[in-house]
Structure 1
């Protein structure tokens, strides 16, 4: 199951940006709450002071007028010149309006005739009693004006975050990327370490939080390198040491078998020869595997693989399987396939494919080798025994198919190891050949040539 991963810097940028917006919004909300209370104090103070200063003037003006039955209206000096938020009325003890400003009607305010503040749905009113509580001066302030002032102040606080948020996210990203750069360098350095690269990690100036990681990784890499080297040397040395005495024992056993006359003795000697030949084949494969483990895939010198394949096929038919039918089918117009690959490593891998095809394939059907210009080399052979439904099991070491033919079960494991060192890949599949014959196909995909 694949686990989705996310960038650490991306998480930090997103988290810090969300927190920035959240904290700024909370701060703006708290500021608006405080501002609203302060605005109310300022407006109430201005309303009260205006009423106290206006009351003597309005009452004096009231007594100078000839008041009839209806309320009198004070004319505006400059009508429409400015926004007028304050209105006033002069009322008697019964609540009747005697005098009112030009920007309010004769309908009495809803506020009671009691000195002090009163708030309605759309007005804030301050009342003053005069002339022995027979006249009341009421000055009203529009609450919509107050809400408008609060809204404009809130927008003044909110607009900067809308403008500064992209800049803040860019700054946060810049800071986070710089802060996490050592982490990315360490990640890249560790990701480049594999079975072919176990060199120590040389990174300096790392933050304290990750400064000890390279040392621990280098210690682990050193131990792993020593273990792998010891394993490879053991396999190689054992194969080399056993090859000579085994060849001598095989030669002596062949001479001895020729000198035996009894049928039972000759039968036993042939079984011993067969066992020695299998052991010799196993040692040869172990030696090839040790070379594959040593990492010999790539080379700095380009090699024409098409010419090399032709040479290997000719040598294989001449020296090992003279009766094998092999058909070489390069792509039309293909004159060469040049890659920077070690020829010995490629020869080991390709010979293993030929041996598998010739040993386990149908002897009456040809082995087909197709070569394309994009670096795909495909070896196809007919099979006479059932194949495992999961062909990938043949990649495992010492895993063989349903056959009694001799083999070590290491051929495809060696091929896959060498092809991986060539920066290529190996794929296995079942195909249907002409006349409905089941075939086994192994395809090597080699990397494109370096420009």
Structure 2
């Protein structure tokens, strides 16, 4: 999934780097242009100063002595292999090392050199053209300016190596951009903080949604929600309202239907019991009189089937009513209670059903143990009853059902194991859905028992784990762990 935070950070940081790079390039171009103009003007000025000096000096001074005085003379110690200015910097009391990067030459009309600075890179070639030009001396590029004096009939050319200009340009750009380069890390931190601050309303809404359980359909908090997010929050609240209304209508229908079914089911059961007694009494009279087989005797199990169906429907209705009460319960009454007597009551109430199926049925708990937890007694007993009832119902006759209570790792574990058909691992999450039943199991369950178990477990902030039973290869193990520490709230 694409991250808005990552997109904004990458985009903004990329824009900062790109703009900084463009600014550096533009600054270098501007600085290079300005430096070229400055040094070009300086070359022209040097040539004209040299022209004015030569107008006077050529009349008073011997050309040889003038040439000797203007020639380049190495500084003491420059003959050493190392740079004489390296130890003292670029400028010393003896001069500046850039003097070797400046040169001039004077020619007559025939191209004979009259004067020259004697540059270490060699002399300029004679070219009878005035103005600016570029040339190479000893493999180094030079910028030159030439002029012609018609009175003295001489050509004057002054020059400067290009690396002087480029070095100055680099220094100017570096000093201009260095503060910006130092600010970029701070700017990155500011951008990261601003992006996080701007996305905080979305994170708050996300936390509100993810922190809720499946039963909390209250509207999201709209305080301090910016305009850009307000539409999304309003749409979510409208969806939650419609969903809450739909679920309320479903729960109300379930409760009403269950209540309406209880009375006719009770009446059908009474009539089936009366029919069973009548058929039984008629069968007894037929045997005493020696009469042949009657229709009543041929159908001795019909009332039993009716009663079995009625009991099954009654169980479904009772489960629906329990689930409806749990879903409508706004707040549970949590209090400290001992889990041992509660489970003992459940086991005692379901023992007759286990004995009827000739099952090995029992509770394993240390004698005198007190396993206190904080819970709602009514809903917790409902959960325990459904777990044990499911185990007894789905375990075949002659099987085994074992309930265990034990302290474990700072918690109280309730375990129910059976030797029934079990639940495939791929189906263990779906069996908690309402009315979901496994087609491979022979017992006719309501499909609501484990939905009630999950509802109670969710309200107690505990998890129900399904696993393999140690009693049989195909059995089921159900474990629920309750914290010994009292629940908050």
Q: Which runs of 5+ in 1 are unaligned?
A: none
Q: Which residue of 2 aligns with 1:88?
A: 104
Select the structure of larger CA radius of gyration. Answer: 2
| CA offset digits 1:265-309 (Å, max 9, x no partner) | 432111111111111111112122223433568554344445533
Q: What is the CA–CA distance in structure 1 between the aligned matches of 2:422 and 2:251, rounded to whole Å?
A: 35
- 1:144 is displaced (CA, Å) by 0.9
Contact persistence 1:297–1:421 (CA under 8 A): no
Change (3 A) 1:41 1:346: same
Q: Which residue of 1 aligns with 2:134?
A: 119
Q: What is the CA–CA distance in structure 2 between the aligned matches of 1:342 and 1:245, rounded to whole Å?
A: 32
Contact persistence 2:132–2:146 (CA under 8 A): yes
- 1:385 is displaced (CA, Å) by 7.3
1:49 and 2:45 equivalent?
yes
Q: Which residue of 2 aligns with 1:228?
A: 247
341-350 vs 281-290, greater mean Cα deviation = 341-350
Contact persistence 2:413–2:481 (CA under 8 A): yes
Q: What is the CA–CA distance in structure 1 between the aligned matches of 2:157 and 2:372, rounded to whole Å?
A: 102
Q: What is the CA–CA distance in structure 1 between the aligned matches of 2:442 and 2:234, rounded to whole Å?
A: 51
Change (3 A) 1:162 1:66: closer
Contact persistence 1:387–1:402 (CA under 8 A): no
SS in 2 for 1:407: coil
Contact persistence 2:422–2:476 (CA under 8 A): no
Q: What is the CA–CA distance in structure 2 between the aligned matches of 1:111 and 1:374, rounded to whole Å?
A: 103
What is the alpha-carbon root mean square deviation over aligned residues?
Answer: 3.5
Q: What is the CA–CA distance in structure 2 between the aligned matches of 1:76 and 1:385, rounded to whole Å?
A: 104
Matched length: 441
Q: Which consecutive aligned stretches of 4+ in structure 1 deviate over 6 angstroms post-superposition? A: 330-334
The two structures have a TM-score, normalised by structure 2, of 0.78
Contact persistence 2:365–2:405 (CA under 8 A): yes
303-312 vs 121-130, greater mean Cα deviation = 303-312
| CA offset digits 1:35-84 (Å, max 9, x no partner) | 2222211221122112211233256556624529x976155895335743
1:366-445 aligned at under 5 Å gives the runs 366-369=401-404, 371=406, 372=408, 373-374=410-411, 376-384=413-421, 387=424, 390-396=427-433, 397-431=435-469, 433=470, 437-445=473-481
Q: Which residue of 1 aligns with 2:177?
A: 158
221-230 vs 192-201, greater mean Cα deviation = 192-201
SS in 2 for 1:321: helix
Match of 2:275 among 248, 256, 266: 256
1:242 and 2:261 equivalent?
yes
SS in 2 for 1:88: strand
Q: What is the CA–CA distance in structure 1 between the aligned matches of 2:392 and 2:115, rounded to whole Å?
A: 120
Q: Which runs of 5+ in 2 are unaligned?
A: 76-92, 284-295
1:309 and 2:343 equivalent?
yes
Contact persistence 1:239–1:286 (CA under 8 A): yes
Match of 1:345 among 375, 379, 392: 379
Match of 1:142 among 161, 176, 188: 161
Q: What is the CA–CA distance in structure 1 between the aligned matches of 2:239 and 2:109, rounded to whole Å?
A: 98
Q: What is the CA–CA distance in structure 1 between the aligned matches of 2:412 and 2:114, rounded to whole Å?
A: 105
Change (3 A) 1:444 1:79: same
Q: What is the CA–CA distance in structure 2 between the aligned matches of 1:395 and 1:442, rounded to whole Å?
A: 12
Q: What is the CA–CA distance in structure 2 between the aligned matches of 1:279 and 1:385, rounded to whole Å?
A: 24
Change (3 A) 1:440 1:96: farther
The two structures have a TM-score, normalised by structure 1, of 0.83
Match of 1:325 among 357, 360, 372: 360
Match of 1:286 among 320, 335, 339: 320
SS in 2 for 1:243: helix
1:67 and 2:64 equivalent?
yes
- 1:164 is displaced (CA, Å) by 1.4
1:2-81 aligned at under 5 Å gives the runs 4=1, 6=3, 8-58=4-54, 60-61=56-57, 64-67=61-64, 73-74=71-72, 79-81=94-96
Match of 2:117 among 92, 97, 101: 101
Change (3 A) 1:142 1:447: farther
